[in-house]
Structure 1
């Protein structure tokens, strides 16, 4: 089954930036997400890098109006199912395997798979996936590399993630094959732990006003 492009585009085009978040304490997930939504960033990726990430996703899904919460760093079918059960509205992976794509076919919740090379993009296009995560963006060649893919692989549109900052985001967003960027600068783990909700909202507002191509 091919990717549900409309569903994943709704997520990617909700705002110029999707915050990529590492949440240790589920109790902090709701005020964090509320701050992001107030700042204009409704799509929120909570990575499965902590023991209580699924609890954090569920807390946001159940309690934050206007939030589009998704799970990141999903590596296999069991994680995919658990993330969906917790309330994830989209799934993000750092790469793609046939096993993961097979798992995606069993769910209506869309997958945004990662790719870093032309061959990986071609594999995903052949598999019916045209909306992709470019990861790790800066380490894999940055905006210049991604721009070079825009002509030969024009069907693919990306969310670059990995080393993207507020200063670097506009260069990515100006590319014809970029729909949004993913970044942790808006709310890193230390900021979340310190409960700086006003600071998160301020950074979210600045990010929400970045222009896309």
Structure 2
């Protein structure tokens, strides 16, 4: 279980916060809008009304103890940049930011963001699952629409073959490699391979197709 701080509780931020909480993590959710905070009060570990542009406010909330910070609003470039800087100066190990365009993305990366996301490409639930190390081990973006995801084999796949699961037809993704529990690697997977606990699977597809597979 990790501790996450999610700043900005619009549709995207709320989705990230709730999914992380559902996955068993501690979540501190922050916004300046009291109504938004109230809606999240019983869905996360703690929901607080606060102005995150003030570093001392963040410090007083114990944000420096977080394993990851998510700056989940992007309409005001100046404010998102300032909050990102505050999190960086507080020593947050990983900072994920929402951006509205590529210029905004470049600025956030320059000042210390570890990853920048565009909500029109990635849902809040998808980002939360990506941050949850138990489920998605890594994600490589190949283009705006395509990526490769490395996941632990789902329980429902165990003792079934690649042919039986028919993943390509069902989810519109390709299994490009399988790393078996004993360390062996298949880069051209055999359709008759039977999945075992501990296997790792690499899938290639559109972001929405990879997301659909992960969400089950």
Same topology, TM > 0.5: no
Task: State the TM-score, normalized to the length of structure 1.
Answer: 0.35
Higher RCO structure (Cα 8 Å, ≥6 apart): 1
Q: Which structure carries more strand by proportion?
A: 2
Which structure has the larger Rg over C-alpha atoms? 2
Q: Which structure carries more helix by proportion?
A: 1
